[in-house]
Amino acid sequence: MKAIIYRDNGTPDVLRFVDRDLPEPGPGEVRVRVAVSGVNPTDWQARSGAGHPKHFLEVTPHLDGAGTIDAVGEGVDQTRVGQRVWLFMAAAGRPTGTAAEFTVVPAAQAVPLPDEAGFDIGASLGVPALTAHRALTVAEDGPRRLRPGALDGKVVLAAGGAGAVGHAVIQLARWAGATVISTVSSPEKARLATAAGAHHVINYREGDPAADIRKITPDGVDIIAEVALGANLALDLAVLRTRGTISTYANDGDLPVELNVLQNMVLNARFQFLILFLAGPEARAAAAQDVAAAVRDGALPVGEEHGLPLIRFPLDRTADAHRTVESRAVGKVLVDIPV
């Protein structure tokens, strides 16, 4: 089979397009014929070695993808052969990710994909959608599971609504019944956040964004899904309601974070720092189930008309896909696997 591998950490130039033996699923595993592989910032960070130690002599990258199960290991229901699935955390703690014609994953990490949902949707879920779910389910006064109505009466602020996680936050929060506000940095990104389903979009570089948000929700925001805590903390605290939650999944820009203890005590603010890989298996399983339900309801479409442009590369140009993600291109980068 054709696959992308790297043996040493480094720039995208370490990626190699090679032939490898077809992998066999072990007990509790499934083999998937990959149709589309999704690329996340975590993938290039792992390849570069930035905070991600390399544990295997050779690695096939990428955590997310979608395709069709073509073989199952011992203990897995044989009827799953032929099932369309989306994959998450394929390369987490394993050497075989989705940047290959075939990959092997634990059966629970291959989630059924409805026939009406394309492989592009499936490959765009994984890290972004599960992270978004986690961000929306850690509030003290909020739900631990998402479903229609779970966030009725709540106000969610999706910082960076044009990004992949921000896009998923908007879609999942709206599906669950929240009023969704998104902050963006340009008219183009405002168009994408609106297409994703945000009820209100605020350009934080114009006017008084805190006042604009307070006009929408005088009592403040219940949950903020934050991508750049250092840059946005002042705005977040200006619009957070008492007992509100700031769910932080990144710190784009790497600006330092300094907390005014008294201010946060008065707010009874909750800060939840989260990373999907350490969220725990129960939280990830619940997130996968809820995201799958949202997909069945048609709540997580992708493409420019739905607020998430798709940027495509063939498998042999995976290095270019990595360069595109590293350059912070707006949209979801996908790698198409040849049939």
Number of Cβ within 10 Å of residue 28's Cβ equals: 13
**Which residues does residue 37 pair with via DSSP β-bridges, in sequence order?**
65, 335
Residues 195-239 have pLDDT tens digits of 999 999 999 999 999 999 999 999 999 999 999 999 999 999 999
Interval 170-187 mean pLDDT? 98
What pLDDT does residue 42 have? 94
Looking from the CA of 267 toward its CB, the CA atoms found within 13 Å total 22
Q: What is the DSSP string of 273-337?
A: E--GGGS-HHHHHHHHHHHHHHHHTT----BGGGTB-EEEEEGGGHHHHHHHHHTT-SSEEEEEP
Statement: the pTM of the whole predicted model exceeds 0.85? yes
What pLDDT does residue 197 have? 98
What pLDDT does residue 319 have? 98
Number of Cβ within 10 Å of residue 312's Cβ equals: 14
Domains and CATH numbers, the chain: 2-124+308-336 (3.90.180.10), 128-277 (3.40.50.720)
Interval 17-23 mean pLDDT? 97
Cβ 166 vs Cβ 201: under 8 Å: no
Average pLDDT, the chain: 96
Cβ 190 vs Cβ 201: under 8 Å: yes
Interval 126-133 mean pLDDT? 98
* Tokens 């989630």 sit on residue: 111
Confidence band for 50, pLDDT divided at 50, 70 and 90: confident
Cβ 338 vs Cβ 318: under 8 Å: no
Cβ 20 vs Cβ 100: under 8 Å: yes
Residues 264-288 have pLDDT tens digits of 999 999 999 999 989 999 999 999 9
* Alpha carbon separation from 331 to 88, 231, 309, 310 (Å, rounded): 19, 22, 5, 6
Interval 148-160 mean pLDDT? 97
CA 333 – CA 203 distance, rounded (Å): 25
CA 118 – CA 300 distance, rounded (Å): 11
What pLDDT does residue 277 have? 87
Specify the DSSP element, H or E, that contains 128.
Answer: helix 126-136
Confidence band for 111, pLDDT divided at 50, 70 and 90: very high
pLDDT at residue 51 greater than cutoff 80:
no
Confidence band for 151, pLDDT divided at 50, 70 and 90: very high
Interval 11-34 mean pLDDT? 98
Return all residues near 106 (Cβ < 8 A) that are at least 6 apart. 28, 29, 30
Confidence band for 52, pLDDT divided at 50, 70 and 90: confident
CA 100 – CA 34 distance, rounded (Å): 7
Determine what percent of the chain is predicted with pLDDT higher than 70: 100
Q: Which two tokens stand for residue 122?
A: 């499936």
CA 240 – CA 221 distance, rounded (Å): 5
